Amino acid sequence: MSEQKLRGGVIGLGVGKAHAKGYRTSPDVELIAVCDSNEERLQTLAAEWAAPVHYTDYRRMLRETPLDMVSICLPNALHAEATIAALEAGMHVVCEKPMAPTTAAARRMLDAARLHNRHLMIAYNFRYRPDTRWMKQMAQSGALGTIYQANVSWRRETGIPGSGWFGAKTLAGGGALIDLGVHVIDLSLWMMGFPAAKTVSGDTRRLFGPRGLKTWGSRPPGQPRPDFDVEDGGVGFIRLANGAHMIVLATWAEHNQPQEDAIRVELQGTEGTAVLHIRNYRTDDTLRFYTEMHGEPVTVVLSPRFGGPQGHEALIHDLAACLRRDLPVPTDGEQGLAAIQILEALYESAATGREVALDG
């Protein structure tokens, strides 16, 4: 292992702020360059972080600043373009979720990574919580027996973006499913060891967004948003190659408990069921394990210890450590592709009203 730290950069300083924290606190990488099209935000954050160089043009940054790894935190439709440019410049890439709006774009990213012998990693930050990691250990250890069903959801009572690119299909690729659903789809696949998806059925609805209802951000409540052309909710049914199936639900808006923002992953097995339920990003009371002992039902309440880096910060620490020590990276692009294939099939099924079969 080289004694010299890796050189890191962040492109896009929205969610990129969370990436930057990881670069700034990691013992294996230092933040060298940042880029954002908003000049005022760029100047403020570059000064706060003491970033040596900053740009409003990411291509110029990639051309002029030698970096070992870079985070791509741009609108979804720009992920492939910026990722491929960084890979061509010889950098390892951490791309925000979703990997890309389409399978074709995701495959181009993977092809570029192979061609240039660089790592492509996806920023699945929820894998870096003690409760999700416990769930994965339970699933992989066999404690649940044979997992036959995964029920996954991310449901927001009020959560439609009131402005910005999230409501525009040309930039986002979709709405609640690709924004929120991608996380819980990935978590369940990751916990189960990435079984292949065989068939996908889905449906979507756009009921609140066009009327300007249940928005957060800059738009006044009830003001119609004519540019909103993505779903504010969607559902799906996925048959998996290992014989299990997944039911997915993602909503930006619904009539529910006020301010509810809940992530749920439930894995049902022949020997037990494990449930992850994160309400409003809490770290307490998130886990249950249901089983039987001596013929009687048993409920186990888990309290994993939270402390130290988590989420994006822990993810950047982990990836930088793996790169510096030449170890396999844990959130590789092939895993990112798995969720994109399912999402693309969900949207196709919703548009055609038919089940979609996936190759392989």
Q: Quick one: what percent of the chain has pLDDT higher than 70?
A: 98
pTM: 0.96
pLDDT of residue 221: 63
99 is a domain residue: yes
Are 257 and 157 in contact by the 8 Å Cβ rule? The answer is yes
139 is a domain residue: yes
Q: How confident is the model at residue 164 (pLDDT cuts 50, 70, 90)?
A: confident
If asked whether residues 36 and 131 sit together in one domain, one would say: no
pLDDT of residue 1: 57
The average confidence (pLDDT) of the chain is 95
Residue 227 above 90 pLDDT?
Answer: no
If asked whether residues 186 and 243 sit together in one domain, one would say: yes
Are 93 and 86 in contact by the 8 Å Cβ rule? The answer is yes
341 is a domain residue: no
If asked whether residues 75 and 162 sit together in one domain, one would say: no
If asked whether residues 249 and 215 sit together in one domain, one would say: yes
pLDDT of residue 226: 78
Instruction: Over range 177-182, report the average pLDDT.
Output: 98
Instruction: Over range 66-77, report the average pLDDT.
Output: 97
350 is a domain residue: no
Residue 222 above 70 pLDDT?
Answer: no
351 is a domain residue: no
Q: How confident is the model at residue 147 (pLDDT cuts 50, 70, 90)?
A: very high
If asked whether residues 230 and 168 sit together in one domain, one would say: yes
Q: Which residue has the higher pLDDT, 308 or 181?
A: 181
If asked whether residues 166 and 203 sit together in one domain, one would say: yes
CATH of the domain at 38: 3.40.50.720
CATH of the domain at 233: 3.30.360.10
Q: How confident is the model at residue 360 (pLDDT cuts 50, 70, 90)?
A: low
If asked whether residues 274 and 164 sit together in one domain, one would say: yes
pLDDT of residue 219: 58
Collapsing DSSP to helix, strand or coil, 239 comes out as strand
If asked whether residues 157 and 97 sit together in one domain, one would say: no
Collapsing DSSP to helix, strand or coil, 8 comes out as strand
Instruction: Tell the burial category of 2 from Cβ atoms under 10 Å away from its Cβ (0-12, 13-18, 19+).
Output: exposed
Q: How confident is the model at residue 359 (pLDDT cuts 50, 70, 90)?
A: confident
pLDDT of residue 198: 98
Q: Which amino acid is residue 104, in one-letter code?
A: A
Q: Quickly count: other Cβ atoms within 10 Å of residue 243's Cβ.
A: 11
Structural domain of residue 224, as residue ranges?
A: 127-306
114 is a domain residue: yes
What is the spatial order of strands in the sheet that 53-55 belongs to?
53-55, 29-35, 6-11, 69-72, 92-96, 120-123
- The answer for residues whose C-beta is within 8 angstroms of residue 252's C-beta and 6 or more apart is 156, 159, 160, 161, 175, 176, 179, 180, 208, 209, 214, 232, 233
Give, in order, the Cα–Cα distances in Å from 30 to each of 66, 70, 111, 125: 13, 11, 28, 20
Distance separating alpha carbons of residues 32 and 10, to the nearest angstrom: 9
- At 7-42, the pLDDT tens digits run 999 999 999 999 999 999 999 999 999 999 999 999
DSSP state, residue 181: I
If asked whether residues 223 and 289 sit together in one domain, one would say: yes
If asked whether residues 236 and 317 sit together in one domain, one would say: no
Q: How confident is the model at residue 216 (pLDDT cuts 50, 70, 90)?
A: confident
Instruction: Over range 304-309, report the average pLDDT.
Output: 92
Residue 125 above 80 pLDDT?
Answer: yes
If asked whether residues 179 and 50 sit together in one domain, one would say: no
- At 73-118, the pLDDT tens digits run 999 999 999 999 999 999 999 999 999 999 999 999 999 999 999 9
Distance separating alpha carbons of residues 232 and 142, to the nearest angstrom: 36
Give, in order, the Cα–Cα distances in Å from 248 to each of 101, 136, 160, 187, 301: 18, 18, 19, 12, 24
Q: How confident is the model at residue 218 (pLDDT cuts 50, 70, 90)?
A: low
If asked whether residues 95 and 131 sit together in one domain, one would say: no
Q: Which amino acid is residue 227, in one-letter code?
A: D
Per the structure, the count of domains in the chain is 2
- At 235-263, the pLDDT tens digits run 999 999 999 999 999 999 999 999 999 99
Residue 224 above 80 pLDDT?
Answer: no
Give, in order, the Cα–Cα distances in Å from 29 to each of 7, 14, 79, 119: 6, 21, 22, 16
Q: Quick one: what percent of the chain has pLDDT higher than 90?
A: 91
233 is a domain residue: yes
242 is a domain residue: yes
Instruction: Over range 253-278, report the average pLDDT.
Output: 97
pLDDT of residue 162: 77
